[in-house]
A and B are shown apart, each in its own frame.
Chain A
Amino acid sequence: MINLECASLKGLLECASFSAHEGNSRVVLAETDFDKNLLLRVLTGLTRTDSGKVFIFGKEISSITYAELSEARKKMGVVLNSGGLISNLKVWENLMLPLAYHASLSYNDIEVKMINILNNLGYNDDLNILPGPLPAYKKKLLGLARAFLTEPDLIIYDSIFDGLSSDIRNRALKVVNTFHEEKKGRVSLFLATSEVSVKDIKADSVYVLKKGNFHERN
């Protein structure tokens, strides 16, 4: 579903190989935030590697058109540490955006799904406000809800458990673990910089990105 073949990028990767296949749940620990963010960009096609190949859903990123890349991203959910919300859209518009854009579901159907996900995450704040003044943890929960709504085949979490209180963390963790199991073949990729932030995540393997390569930890 996602793999790197001898991918090199100055300052980050040196002929590095990594793969996550259907059903995998993997943790990747980077040494710094910079490395983690750059890796996220590589995995999502925002930054191209200097050499080597990056495959998303079987398609090599450097050889596909922008439309094909967008098509691949439709099946991918990215939950950013900041929430990744759009500042000029209200919370409910932010949540509905990808699904309303790509699917032909009615707003009512999307709303039913959205409320259900928000309830599971324990989010009960006003949805009719702009996200700017919301605290960071609420933005993270909203980012999670937005990604869950699209039911992606591949979901990448970017340090989402950092800075959450233990209550909220446990609830979010439970939802994240359940979400992975909900769809057969779904791939979950957890990017982080510290082991503490990925503690209790149900992952089948943990990789450390060090000196330009991925090292699997026993």
Chain B
Amino acid sequence: MATAGKASYKYLRTIEYLYELFSLLFAAFGNLPFLKIRPVRTVFFRQIYFGGIETFGKVIIIGLLIGIVIITQITSLVGLGSAVLTGKILIWVVVRELGPLLAAIIIIARSATAIASELGAMNIENEIENIELMGIDPNRYLIMPRVFALALSAVVLTFYFELAAIFGGIAVTSIFWAVPFEQYSKGMLSSLSIAELSVSLLKSLLFGTAIAAVSCSQGLKVRKSITQIPQATTRATIQSLFLVFIFDGIITFIFFV
């Protein structure tokens, strides 16, 4: 009986938390017109800079390495003679799955933790209340620009991650195994469509939005003590990962099954 009670309590808490996340996102969408206000725009661009531009180099390096790893594995599986098939598999693996997923993981490691700890520290220092005292709605000034900047950064980073991974794969085979680029391009072009790329970017958009919502929500939950900040960042990381994998499964099931 006690176990059943605990389980239903957890279930209700999960529903309540999801409701919180949706409310946060709903409010963020409602506050989008306030992006025209200069200080809000500054927060938005600053988040783009920290979450997107500063992460760009790392995403490119990891993308290149992942491309090299994948192409090496595919080539060792199907051999050097199946360049068309190799190109196809590379596109499918990178664009359909690994691109959005790994870009999201990099964003979680870099931005989700940063957002949760920053908002948590601001809450502890009463800075969010100080912002309210100036007649500024923290949802407009702190949350909305972070949500949209992270969502946008996720899309752009995913795109460049995929480009880097494909380039890395091609470069390795062309340089080390002397397989002409044209052979791969046939397979790639036949499997890479606008729809394929759109689904990939849709995934990244959802991932970025979910990561931002979770990390903002966890940061805002910090109330009493500085020891809650590392707890909030841990929860932001785990829950973001969890949501990213859930969304990945759902979208893959809807579009590719």
Contact = CB atoms under 8 A, between A and B. Distances in A.
Interface residues of B, number: 21
Nearest to B127: A86
A101 B141 contact: yes
A67 B141 CA distance: 14
B118 A84 contact: no
A73 B129 contact: no
A74 B130 CA distance: 12
10 contacts: A46-B133, A67-B137, A74-B135, A84-B127, A84-B133, A87-B122, A101-B135, A101-B136, A101-B141, A150-B134
In order of increasing CB-CB distance, the 9 nearest A-B pairs are A73-B135, A74-B135, A98-B134, A84-B130, A70-B135, A78-B133, A101-B39, A100-B39, A86-B127
Q: How large is the interface on A (under 10, 10 to 19, 20 to 34, 35 or more residues)?
A: 20 to 34
B129 A46 contact: yes
Given A70-B135, A70-B136, A87-B121, A101 B130 contact: no
Contact of A102 (B121, B126, B130, B135): B135
B39 A87 contact: no
Interface in B122-167: 122, 125-127, 129-137, 141
Q: Is the interface of B mostly helix, strand, loop or mixed?
A: helix
Interface string A34-53: 00000000001010000000
B37 interface: yes
Nearest to B133: A78
Interface of B: 37-40, 42, 118, 121-122, 125-127, 129-137, 141
Given A70-B132, A88-B122, 6 more contacts: A46-B133, A70-B136, A86-B131, A93-B39, A101-B37, A101-B39
Given A46-B132, A97-B136, A86 B122 contact: yes
A76 interface: yes
B226 to A, nearest CB: 13
